[in-house]
């Protein structure tokens, strides 16, 4: 028996696993940062082109649902190929384009630019806080996943219902809940990468991006609703 070899193998395997986790996390952060560029570009094009005036709210909702879920399906299918990153960036452009409707409404308010910057700063602070927490929490958060998923599904159903009800109070409540749920999703997704449970950086980026998008959109809704009620 080669005792030195037997002792070295687990250590080397552990070091390799740590290096792999760090690589996935680093690529996730880089791709997440890159995805902000097409998002901003899409939002800008939507604002300057008058894209918001082309689609009615009902048609806009259908386009958003079909486009978003179509992109998500394609990204997951191609996540291990060279097409994965371009598809993800195309998706973020589409999401920016669809966000332009809400941005146009908020920017049309008094201090609209300030409200957008506040939402952006709040989203960045939440991301930074959740990223920091993911490095500090040692316990396994796997059990959070199913509860967050159930919460997200219930939230989507309630928001679809409110699309027809058009209740500002309900919209405000749902937006606050969305900020909490998707902030927790950021922590959950980053922790999964750190624990080696997610080894594909495209999937990891997609999950964190969707959470950030929903946090930003929900913050915009909260700020817009509270500002218009003043």
Q: How confident is the model at residue 18 (pLDDT cuts 50, 70, 90)?
A: confident
Contact status, residue 51 vs residue 104, Cβ threshold 8 Å: no
Interval 55-94: pLDDT, tens? 777 888 889 999 999 999 999 999 999 999 999 999 999 9
Cα torsion angle, 79, 151, 163, 160, sign: positive
Mean pLDDT over each residue of the chain, to the nearest integer: 89
Helices (H), 108-200: 112-136, 144-165, 168-194
pLDDT, residue 223, reads 94
In angstroms, rounded to a whole number, what is the distance separating the alpha carbons of residues 63 and 69? 10
Inter-axis angle of helices 168-194 and 201-228, to 10 degrees?
Answer: 150
Q: Where are the domains of the chain?
A: 3-228
pLDDT, residue 28, reads 95
pLDDT, residue 130, reads 96
pLDDT, residue 5, reads 52
Q: Which helix (H) or strand (E) holds 146?
A: helix 144-165
In sequence order, the 6+-apart residues with CB closer than 8 A to the CB of 96 are 38, 39, 40, 41, 42, 43, 44, 45, 46
Q: How confident is the model at residue 203 (pLDDT cuts 50, 70, 90)?
A: very high
The highest-confidence range among 10-24, 142-156, 209-223, by mean pLDDT, is 209-223
Which residue is associated with the tokens 């630019």?
A: 113
Q: Which two tokens stand for residue 151?
A: 């919460």
pLDDT, residue 170, reads 93
pLDDT, residue 228, reads 66
Which position has the higher pLDDT, 20 or 42? 42
In angstroms, rounded to a whole number, what is the distance separating the alpha carbons of residues 106 and 99? 11
Interval 120-154: pLDDT, tens? 999 999 999 999 999 999 888 888 989 999 999 99
Contact status, residue 28 vs residue 208, Cβ threshold 8 Å: yes
Residue 229 has pLDDT above 70, yes or no: no
pTM of the model: 0.90
Contact status, residue 190 vs residue 134, Cβ threshold 8 Å: yes
pLDDT, residue 7, reads 47
- Number of other CB atoms surrounding residue 130 within 10 Å: 23
């Amino acid at each position: 028996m080669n005792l030195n070899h037997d002792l070295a193998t687990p250590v080397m395997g552990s070091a390799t696993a740590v290096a792999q986790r760090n690589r996935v996390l680093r690529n996730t952060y880089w791709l997440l940062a890159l995805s902000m560029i097409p998002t901003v570009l899409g939002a800008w094009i939507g604002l300057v082109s008058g894209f918001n005036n082309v689609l009615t709210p009902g048609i806009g909702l259908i386009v958003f649902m079909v486009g978003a879920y179509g992109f998500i399906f394609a990204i997951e299918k191609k996540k291990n190929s060279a097409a994965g990153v371009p598809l993800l960036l195309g998706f973020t452009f589409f999401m920016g384009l669809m966000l332009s409707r809400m941005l146009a409404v908020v920017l049309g308010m008094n201090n609209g630019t300030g409200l957008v910057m506040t939402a952006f700063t709040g989203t960045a602070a939440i991301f930074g806080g959740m990223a920091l927490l993911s490095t500090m929490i040692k316990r396994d958060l796997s059990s959070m996943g199913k509860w967050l998923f159930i919460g997200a599904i219930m939230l989507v159903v309630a928001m679809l219902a409110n699309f027809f009800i058009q209740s500002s109070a309900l919209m405000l409540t749902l937006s606050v809940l969305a900020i909490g749920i998707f902030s927790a999703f950021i922590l959950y997704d980053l922790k999964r990468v750190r624990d080696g449970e997610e080894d594909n950086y495209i999937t990891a980026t997609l999950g964190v991006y969707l959470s950030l998008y929903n946090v930003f959109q929900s913050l915009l809704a909260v700020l817009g609703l509270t500002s218009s009620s003043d």
